């Protein structure tokens, strides 16, 4: 099984080799075939997602919601960070891959986004200064071993300002046949098998594996309860054969003094 440190190293390699494909595994986003049209569609999909996130929050948790500060955990090349920067006074993107952050910085400069800050991640998010009215993460936690992921969820919730919202995507199930499970096990454990699969798929032999993990929603809801969340809204999300939920969790307003 891939270790925690291996998963971070794999993501750093993805950032160096194929940053856009790593975010959305579409063949048209591989470095060797990436076109300006594909890049435009890639970033447009981020705008659609952020618009949906804000509409959901305003429709179910806070009709007047507008984040002054927004955090995107696992920001990659900025697909979701840049639309957040368009609606917030400032936006912070966090990622474990220096290459991803470098590409995001280049893209932010092309867009003249001066309110974006990019931060390299660690398990304590020690370089991130809160609080934030919106803490967001999408298609990220599955790449992080569950024990570490739960710690990060706890930390992300701590960064939510009173009255603010955490919008977190959490994968919980995979629809796959027993044969596919056996095949995946062979690929993980048999020396050379992963390279052969890469070769068959037309990828580099040494392309790293992309770790995928599933979370226990009961434990995640426990983390929300411990964080003092006052309201929750959930939406189911399908990503290929993986099922997940988008959890919208609002912290209570600060109690008035006096």
Rounded CA gap, 130 and 132, in Å? 5
Rounded CA gap, 131 and 160, in Å? 5
Residue 222 lies in a domain: yes
Average pLDDT score over the chain: 88
Residue 189 lies in a domain: no
Residue 195 lies in a domain: no
Lowest mean pLDDT among 62-71, 175-184, 208-217, 227-236: 175-184
The model's pTM? 0.86
Residue 191 lies in a domain: no
Task: Work out the percent of the chain whose per-residue pLDDT is above 70.
Answer: 83
Rounded CA gap, 184 and 210, in Å? 12
Over the stretch 96-151, which tens digit does the pLDDT of each residue have? 999 999 999 999 999 999 999 999 999 999 999 989 999 999 999 999 999 999 99
**Considering its fold, how many domains does the chain have in total?**
1
Question: What does the pLDDT read at residue 230?
Answer: 86
Task: Work out the percent of the chain whose per-residue pLDDT is above 90.
Answer: 69
- Residue 10 in contact with residue 212, Cβ under 8 Å? no
Which CATH number fits the domain that encloses residue 46?
3.40.50.150
Coil, strand or helix at 71: strand
Question: What does the pLDDT read at residue 128?
Answer: 96
Residue 13 lies in a domain: yes
Which residue from 160, 173, 176 is spatially nearest to 236, judged by alpha carbons? 173
pLDDT at position 218 over 80: yes
Question: What does the pLDDT read at residue 4?
Answer: 46
pLDDT at position 256 over 60: no
Assigned token pair, 190:
């048999």
Question: What does the pLDDT read at residue 9?
Answer: 83
Range of the domain at 141: 4-176+212-250
Per-residue pLDDT band for 178 (boundaries 50, 70, 90) equals low
- Residue 42 in contact with residue 36, Cβ under 8 Å? no
Calculate the alpha carbon distances from 234 to 13, 53, 98, 143, 169 in Å.
Answer: 33, 11, 32, 21, 10
Residue 234 lies in a domain: yes
């Amino acid at each position: 099984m891939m270790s925690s440190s291996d998963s971070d190293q794999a993501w750093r390699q993805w950032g160096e080799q194929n940053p856009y494909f790593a975010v959305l595994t579409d063949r048209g986003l591989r470095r060797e075939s990436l076109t300006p049209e594909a890049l435009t569609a890639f970033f447009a999909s981020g705008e659609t997602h952020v618009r949906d996130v804000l509409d959901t929050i305003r429709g179910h948790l806070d009709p007047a919601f507008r984040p002054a500060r927004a955090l995107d955990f696992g920001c990659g090349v900025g697909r979701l960070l840049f639309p957040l920067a368009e609606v917030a006074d400032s936006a912070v993107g966090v990622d474990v891959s220096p290459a991803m952050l470098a590409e995001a910085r280049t893209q932010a400069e092309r867009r003249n986004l001066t309110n974006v800050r990019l931060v390299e991640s660690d398990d304590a998010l020690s370089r991130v200064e809160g609080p934030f009215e919106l803490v967001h993460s999408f298609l990220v936690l599955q790449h992080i071993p569950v024990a570490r992921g739960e710690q990060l969820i706890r930390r992300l919730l701590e960064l939510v300002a009173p009255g603010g919202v955490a919008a977190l995507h959490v994968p919980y199930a995979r629809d796959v046949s027993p044969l596919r499970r056996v095949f995946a096990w062979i690929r993980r454990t048999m020396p050379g098998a992963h390279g052969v699969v890469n070769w068959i798929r037309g990828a580099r032999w040494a392309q790293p594996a992309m770790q995928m993990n599933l979370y226990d929603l009961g434990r995640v809801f426990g983390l929300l309860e411990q964080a003092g969340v006052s309201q929750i809204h959930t939406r189911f999300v399908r990503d290929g054969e993986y099922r997940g939920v988008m959890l919208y969790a609002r912290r209570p307003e600060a109690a008035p003094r006096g």
